[in-house]
Amino acid sequence: MEGTEVRKLTELEDRHWWYRERRHLLDRAVDGIVPGDALDIGAAGGGNTRVLLRRGWRASALEYGQEGAEVCHERGIAVLRADATRLPLAAASLDLVVAFDVLEHIEDDKAAAAGVFDVLRPGGTFLVAVPADPKLWSEHDVAVDHVRRYTRPELLDLLRGAGFEIASVRSWMVLLRPAVALRRRASSGSDLDDPPAWMNAVLGGIVALERWLPVGKLPGVSLLVTARRPA
């Protein structure tokens, strides 16, 4: 992601409906897990890292680009600048790794998944979010440097191939998928924007409905997986 996009994301993420709901999903995913050592890969502005810190995790951010690392540092978040396919950490040194909207940016996603498996302790958790369905590919994906969009079988095969056990998998942004698909057909660049307050509230309310509706097996815009290194 370009440095300007990282700065734009950082300015938006605290109030934007999509990032707000994604933080809720992360908060819910770690509920019940005893806090330990965690790494947030591709942290950008560190919004998800701060969720972990509030939860009591000893969390650090990892960023490949200079802008993201600088933003995390400015926010007082411990940050490593490194390649996600070559994590600069000791084997079996972490209890949790988060990679929300990261793997789709990496050419060698197999190396990234294998590296995460290596740094997790036995029983450790890997939380993954990726954009779903190649049919939704658009100029938005090009603008934000996506390499791919995943099908559910592709993502699960990737994680199982690295040695992970799948604890759960679900679609996200199911209710808004038709609107996203329609918008992406006419997309000429990144969809990252700052909607009016009323629209931000409406979209946030719609996506929040999925917290209670049984729609996780239906086609969505994103996939969310909880995977674990076998104990």
- How distant, in Å, are the alpha carbons of 14, 34, 72, 197, 198 from that of 77? 16, 21, 5, 29, 32
Q: How confident is the model at residue 7 (pLDDT cuts 50, 70, 90)?
A: low
Yes or no: say if 94 and 39 are a contact pair by the CB < 8 Å rule: yes
What CATH code is carried by the domain that includes residue 176?
3.40.50.150
In the three-class reduction of DSSP (H, G, I as helix; E, B as strand; rest coil), residue 39 is classed as strand
Instruction: Report the percentage of the chain scoring pLDDT > 70.
Output: 97
pLDDT at 67: 83
94-125 pLDDT, tens digit per residue, is: 999 999 999 999 999 999 999 999 999 999 99
Q: How confident is the model at residue 187 (pLDDT cuts 50, 70, 90)?
A: confident
Structure tokens that stand for 92 in this block: 């079996």
pLDDT at 24: 98
Assess whether pLDDT exceeds 60 at residue 28.
yes
pLDDT at 94: 98
Assess whether pLDDT exceeds 80 at residue 192.
no
| Count of domains observed in the chain | 1
CA–CA separation, 136 and 158 (whole Å): 20
CA–CA separation, 129 and 100 (whole Å): 4
Residue from 47, 52, 27 nearest 37 by CA:
52
Yes or no: say if 57 and 35 are a contact pair by the CB < 8 Å rule: yes
- Residue 155, phi then psi, degrees to nearest 5: -65, -45
DSSP 89-109: S-TT-EEEEEEET-GGG-TTH
CA–CA separation, 205 and 186 (whole Å): 25
CA–CA separation, 201 and 146 (whole Å): 27
pTM, 2 dp: 0.94
pLDDT at 194: 84
Q: How confident is the model at residue 207 (pLDDT cuts 50, 70, 90)?
A: very high
Structure tokens that stand for 6 in this block: 């990282």
pLDDT at 191: 75
> How many other C-beta atoms can be found within 10 angstroms of the C-beta atom of residue 216?
15
Residue from 132, 130, 144, 137 nearest 191 by CA:
144
pLDDT at 143: 85
Range of the domain at 31: 3-228
Assess whether pLDDT exceeds 70 at residue 1.
no
pLDDT at 218: 98
127-163 pLDDT, tens digit per residue, is: 999 999 999 999 889 988 899 999 999 999 999 999 9
Q: How confident is the model at residue 5 (pLDDT cuts 50, 70, 90)?
A: low
pLDDT at 4: 55
